[in-house]
Amino acid sequence: MSLFPTPLELLARARVDLRMGLPVVLSDGSGAALAIAAESLTPDRLQDLQAMGTVTLALTARRAETLKAHAYDGDTARIQVPAEAQIDWIQALADPADDLSMPMKGPLISERGGSAALHRLAIALVKSARLLPATLLVPLEGAAQFAAEHGLTLLPQAAAKPLLSQSSPLHPVAAARLPMLAAEAGRLHIFRPEDGGEEHYAIEIGRADRSQPVLARLHSACFTGDVLGSLKCDCGPQLQGALAQMGDQGSGILLYLNQEGRGIGLANKMRAYSLQDQGFDTVEANHRLGFEDDERDFRLGAAILKKLGFSQVRLLTNNPNKIAMMENTGIKVTERVALKVGENAHNAAYLATKAAKSGHML
């Protein structure tokens, strides 16, 4: 029946539940578990979780490396949670804010053997919810009945896992003329993903010939740089510089993707900034939080270009990964157009790290 939630809609519901501090029920062919995000955990819910059975803390291998814990499952570590563990202990493992002041958090015992499939799914879920990648899980019998009786979201792994690795389909919502400083002939297009995530925007300058390569930029949202004029990055100058080039040439398309902080969200980005204040570079900070260097999905930009009728671009970028993504998704990059703006005394080390560790062509 069409009025019942689809797997994609259940996934969106699960993200909201986790952000609010509610657990979700995860199941696969061999068992089930109750999972809750470490970031939004409360003392009462930890106590109730511990009363249900043996609790395991799932962390990414990146975070486990910082904690000197074994990640026997490759990209995932399953840490045994002592029965007497308090919420402060859990949050100290999930959040690296006090790693330097309190480096000794162990000894930590990692589980090995058995399946880590539900633990891996739980981490992917909290990542997609823009939470710290750390979850608590406890085995569960009668998953479907438990979820129904307590009003919890039930996610089968077989349905959820492929959805988490795909780009959500995007649909145009609205478009209107928008005169801007860069060009009076502007138009703003809004695209909404099916998975309940943030909307993404296409800013069209002029009316580009769809049969020719268009000057284009993939720009990830940066509240601190785009809005506040932060000097810690070069995002604001890149945004304005790209629009100015498009205005000068009379046409172009800027894809504004709501993937703040390289896809980890603004709160986690501020956590990364705090770690940078402790002396870590931007990549090291992401790793200590448990994230990869870059968690963004650039396929969204290619999908929007296709929706707008473009198949070839002159790409304004310094990031080789964006070029590769475009080519891999069927958008031909006929030229890379350099965008070297915004360097200052506050972001020089940040830009050097992007060049050295992320391959940016600066």
Q: Which residues are catalytic?
A: 294, 296
- H/E element holding 37? strand 31-37
CA distance 29 to 136: 20
Query: At 150, which helix (H) or strand (E)?
Result: helix 143-150
Cβ atoms 222, 233 nearer than 8 A: yes
d(CA 22, CA 157): 18
As a whole number of Å, the end-to-end CA separation of the chain is 54
Dist CA 317 CA 360 (whole Å) = 9
**How far from chain centre, in Å, is Cα 330?**
23
DSSP assignment letter at 96: G
2 Cβ neighbours under 8 A, 6+ residues apart: none
* CA 92 centroid distance within chain: 22
- CA 113, 103, 128: angle at the middle one, nearest 5? 55
Q: Are 134 and 57 in contact (CB under 8 A)?
A: yes
Separation between Cα atoms, residue 282 and residue 270, nearest integer Å: 11
Of the candidates 144, 165, 199, 136, which has an alpha carbon nearest to the alpha carbon of residue 11?
A: 165
Cα 132 to Cα 289: distance, rounded to the nearest angstrom = 7
161 φ, ψ (degrees, to nearest 5): -60, -50
Q: How many CB atoms lie within 10 A of CB 313?
A: 30
Residue 349 has φ and ψ, to the nearest 5°, of: -65, -40
Which of 32, 28, 35 has the alpha carbon at shortest distance from 49?
35
Find tokens 């519901």 and name the residue: 13
